[in-house]
Amino acid sequence: MAVNRATLLDVARRAGVSRTTASFVVTGRRDMRISADAEQRVLRAVRELNYRPNLMARGLRTNFTNTVGLVSDTIASEAFAGEVIRGSVATALNHRHLLFIGETEGDTVVEKRVVQDMLDRGVDGFLYAAMYTREARLPAALRAQPVVMLNCLTKDRRTPAVLPDEFEAGRTAARTMLEAGHREGMWVVGEVLPVVYAATQRLAGITEVLSAERLTAAGRVDCLWWPESAYEAIGRLLVAGERPTGLICLNDRVAFGAYQAIAEAGLRIPQDISVVSFDDSDLASWLRPALTSIAIPHFELGRRAVEVLLTSPRPDGVRLIPMPLHRRASVGPPRWTR
Amino acid sequence: MAVNRATLLDVARRAGVSRTTASFVVTGRRDMRISADAEQRVLRAVRELNYRPNLMARGLRTNFTNTVGLVSDTIASEAFAGEVIRGSVATALNHRHLLFIGETEGDTVVEKRVVQDMLDRGVDGFLYAAMYTREARLPAALRAQPVVMLNCLTKDRRTPAVLPDEFEAGRTAARTMLEAGHREGMWVVGEVLPVVYAATQRLAGITEVLSAERLTAAGRVDCLWWPESAYEAIGRLLVAGERPTGLICLNDRVAFGAYQAIAEAGLRIPQDISVVSFDDSDLASWLRPALTSIAIPHFELGRRAVEVLLTSPRPDGVRLIPMPLHRRASVGPPRWTR
């Protein structure tokens, strides 16, 4: 707004037509007879004056501003957030929408203000995003708005939601180990808190596949999902003389800590211990040997959430996005089969 | 806009005053005499109707919409981007501004469209961001707009810019090694391309501090700034019999590759080789031993850029943000002093 821009009236004057005629040409309406000559003059004036419709003014008339508000609990300092935002922004742009972004840090007062600030600017709809997959309550101010939950879902599963298929990912992890020949010696590494959807779903998927083979995990290591905690816990396990054939690590950071403990014990991956993990962060490809990991499809989550939001009528219910397995070098046959 | 909201006229009617009177109360203007009683009635109506001024309509009148557009070449899949966005969003919110976000992937056609889409929505100003510190040309469409360059700068240094003090960070890295007793055996690891501002500035800072002590780096390793490339290059160096006392790695990913090569050669950090690095990514605290690294202040970059943009009059020139050293366990005295 800082620079004077051509108005529709400027276009009409240059083209020698009425403002109404110019408006009909610019908005592509065909319910008024306009001569081909007048239409050409208007289109030429649009080009010459670099006329662009003012979306703010149009928003006041039509109640659509072609903007979407992304309300996120935390734009975490992780690669994850960046990819979700990339997917959302790129898809919105394809639909000629722009994305407002707001972070609440989980504070309901901030959240209320962010939502209201976006409503004040006439956003057409909302993405309500959690950076870690979880159940969430939709803020009251959003209940009457077009909204899609991104990486989270309401308890009743009724608000449209897009999230990764964590249960199937758990199944994939277990199958990957079974296919390599692992049977009795598999441990699951990382604590499973009931409120962490990714944790409970991944574990449920793992358990289901093992049960179908009449197997259970040899044990569980209840460390935090961070390298240091996993390093210490796996270190203790190995010092105690346990010899897992494989570790199913609940995320890549846990796997990173496991790698460090395994190296320190003088053991090799995958010859002595196989490792499979979840997230497929940058770390997975950087580790030596490179880590087999099941990806969170962040870009796709953002893309699909925007697609659902801008589809009319908006489809209800929960959409589960597949989590692709990236096979690398950390899974091999167990020692006893070699 | 999907839900009907109270208008100023609704407020005026409920309060039994004219629309003009209601407007003066709501906008806090004091140049019209309004009875205390009328003012109270208006404020009560505002609360009861949950009235919020329509910023789109106000934008059309005042030419200010309280929105800022962040135009970025790439919202990289790195922690970096997330923190820059966090700093920008939080600071904008403190000023009651919202942030539009647009990614161009370095494509000038997309860039032009993103800028125009933001102008169509009446943004008050722009942040023009690069995810890797570098020189950049301001797009033509932005030259007449209020703009602050974020993590980049124009060749003539005249557009307001906020970027990390990479030169001083280079000095810090060299000083850290000197203070631990290193003299002749320091290598610089990572290629230095003239177009990569961070690389040339970091190296210049390192060189200046060494020169002041009549020292030079023992050598340079020209690998890519990625773990695998660094792993291979450092591996070759060690196999060839070189024994650096210290490595100054040009980022944490390079340091990660160096750690892997050093471990594989059966050497220890810092007892055999010290390592210092730049970025202070998550990786730095996860490595064993934890990596001494000089942080890119991403949150602060975002915060300062918004502050500069919203300051009136807008200060000119380049602002260098300090890069703090995080001392951890990867730097010790060289072997020959033990």
Mean pLDDT of A300-312: 93
The more confidently predicted of residues A37 and B229 is B229
The number of residues making up chain A comes to 338
Beta strand B98-103 with A98-103: parallel, antiparallel or unpaired? antiparallel
Residue of B nearest to A102 (CA): B89
Q: Residue A61 — very low, low, confident or very high, per pLDDT cuts 50/70/90?
A: low
Tell me the chain A residues in contact with residue B81 when contact means C-beta distances shorter than 8 Å.
81-82, 85
Tell me the chain B residues in contact with residue A52 when contact means C-beta distances shorter than 8 Å.
116, 119-120
CATH 1.10.260 domain extents, chain B: 8-53
Task: Give the sign of the dihedral formed by CA B286, CA B289, CA B290, CA B292.
Answer: negative
Question: Looking at CA atoms only, how far is residue A150 from chain B in angstroms?
Answer: 17
Residue B2 has pLDDT above 70, yes or no: no
Mean pLDDT of B21-29: 76
Greatest CA separation found in chain A? 90
Q: Is A232 on the interface with B (CB under 8 A)?
A: no
Q: Which of B56, B63, B81 sits opposite A121 (nearest CB)?
A: B56
Q: Are the beta carbons of A53 and B144 separated by less than 8 Å?
A: no
Q: Are the beta carbons of A2 and B53 separated by less than 8 Å?
A: no
Q: Is A110 on the interface with B (CB under 8 A)?
A: yes
CATH 3.40.50.2300 domain extents, chain A: 66-164+298-321, 166-296+325-337
The Cα A132–Cα B208 span in angstroms is: 45
Query: Looking at A204-218, B161-175, B305-319, which range is the least confident one?
Result: B305-319
Mean pLDDT of B123-143: 88
What pLDDT sits at residue A320? 96
Q: How does pLDDT run across A78-114, given as a tens digit for each residue?
A: 556 778 888 898 899 888 899 998 888 778 888 888 8
Q: How does pLDDT run across A21-36, given as a tens digit for each residue?
A: 888 787 666 667 788 8
The Cα B75–Cα A125 span in angstroms is: 22
Residue of A47, A54, A86, A131 best to disrupt the B interface, most CBs of B under 10 A:
A86
Mean pLDDT of A125-147: 89
Considering the four listed CATH numbers 1.10.260, 1.10.760, 2.40.128, 1.10.10, the one that applies to the domain covering B8-53 is: 1.10.260
B 38-57: CB under 8 A from A: 52-57
Alpha helix (H) residue ranges in chain B: 8-15, 19-26, 36-49, 55-62, 79-94, 108-120, 166-179, 197-212, 227-239, 252-264, 282-286, 298-310
Q: Is A2 on the interface with B (CB under 8 A)?
A: yes
pTM above 0.90, yes or no: no
What pLDDT sits at residue B57? 64
Instruction: Calculate the dihedral angle through the C-alpha atoms of B100, A296, A286, B273, rounding to the nearest 10 degrees.
Output: 70
Q: How far is CA B310 from CA A102, A184, A269, B53, B301, in A?
A: 18, 62, 54, 21, 14
Tell me the chain A residues in contact with residue B312 when contact means C-beta distances shorter than 8 Å.
none
Residue B166 has pLDDT above 50, yes or no: yes
Q: Which of B54, B98, B145 sits opposite A2 (nearest CB)?
A: B145
The Cα A148–Cα B109 span in angstroms is: 30
The Cα A65–Cα A122 span in angstroms is: 6
Q: How does pLDDT run across B228-261, given as a tens digit for each residue?
A: 999 999 999 999 999 999 999 999 999 999 999 9
Residue A55 has pLDDT above 90, yes or no: no
Residues B132/B106, Cβ–Cβ less than 8 Å: no
Residue of A nearest to B83 (CA): A77
Q: What are phi and psi of B245, to 5 degrees?
A: -85, -25
Q: What is the DSSP letter of B314?
A: P
Q: Residue B312 — very low, low, confident or very high, per pLDDT cuts 50/70/90?
A: confident
Q: Which of A2, A79, A256 sits opposite B77 (nearest CB)?
A: A79
Residue of B225, B252, B288, B328 best to disrupt the A interface, most CBs of A under 10 A:
B288
Q: Are the beta carbons of B146 and A76 separated by less than 8 Å?
A: no
What pLDDT sits at residue A75? 61
Q: Which H or E element spans position A325?
A: strand A325-326
Q: Are the beta carbons of B83 and A77 separated by less than 8 Å?
A: yes
Question: Looking at CA atoms only, how far is residue A258 from chain B in angstroms?
Answer: 12
B 139-158: CB under 8 A from A: 144-146
The pair of structure tokens assigned to B158 is 């005249």
What pLDDT sits at residue A46? 83
Query: Looking at A1-5, A150-154, A237-241, which range is the least confident one?
Result: A1-5
Q: Is A263 on the interface with B (CB under 8 A)?
A: yes
Q: Is B193 on the interface with A (CB under 8 A)?
A: no
CATH topology of domain A66-164+298-321: Rossmann fold (3.40.50)
What pLDDT sits at residue B162? 96
Q: How does pLDDT run across A141-150, given as a tens digit for each residue?
A: 898 899 999 9
What pLDDT sits at residue A203? 98
Q: How does pLDDT run across A70-81, given as a tens digit for each residue?
A: 998 876 545 567
Mean pLDDT of A115-127: 89
The Cα B189–Cα B6 span in angstroms is: 63
Q: Are the beta carbons of A60 and B60 separated by less than 8 Å?
A: yes
Q: Whose CA is closest to A159, among A175, A135, A195? A: A135
Q: Is A77 on the interface with B (CB under 8 A)?
A: yes
Q: How does pLDDT run across B79-119, given as a tens digit for each residue?
A: 567 788 888 988 998 888 999 988 887 788 888 888 988 98
The Cα A57–Cα B122 span in angstroms is: 10
The DSSP secondary structure of B86-115, one letter per residue, reads HHHHHHHHHTT-EEEEEE-TT-HHHHHHHH
Residues A82/B81, Cβ–Cβ less than 8 Å: yes
What pLDDT sits at residue A33? 78
Q: What are phi and psi of B184, to 5 degrees?
A: -95, -20
Radius of gyration of chain B measured on its C-alpha atoms:
27
Residue of B nearest to A72 (CA): B86
Q: Are the beta carbons of B56 and A59 separated by less than 8 Å?
A: yes
Q: Report the CATH number of the B166-297+325-337 domain.
A: 3.40.50.2300
Q: Is B131 on the interface with A (CB under 8 A)?
A: no
What pLDDT sits at residue A1? 36
Query: Looking at A152-166, B31-45, B299-313, which range is the least confident one?
Result: B31-45
Task: Give the sign of the dihedral formed by CA A79, CA B280, CA B151, CA A286.
Answer: negative
ipTM: 0.80
Residues A252/A290, Cβ–Cβ less than 8 Å: no
Exposed e or buried b for every residue in A106-120, given b needs 16+ CB within 10 A? eeeebbebbbebbbb
Residues B306/B95, Cβ–Cβ less than 8 Å: yes
Query: Looking at B4-18, B57-71, B203-217, which range is the least confident one?
Result: B57-71
Considering the four listed CATH numbers 3.40.718.10, 3.30.70.270, 3.40.50.2300, 3.40.50.1950, the one that applies to the domain covering A166-296+325-337 is: 3.40.50.2300
Q: Is A336 on the interface with B (CB under 8 A)?
A: no
Q: Is B114 on the interface with A (CB under 8 A)?
A: yes
CATH 3.40.50.2300 domain extents, chain B: 66-164+298-321, 166-297+325-337
Q: Is A36 on the interface with B (CB under 8 A)?
A: no
Tell me the chain A residues in contact with residue B286 when contact means C-beta distances shorter than 8 Å.
227-228, 253, 256-257
Residue of A nearest to B86 (CA): A75
What pLDDT sits at residue A58? 62
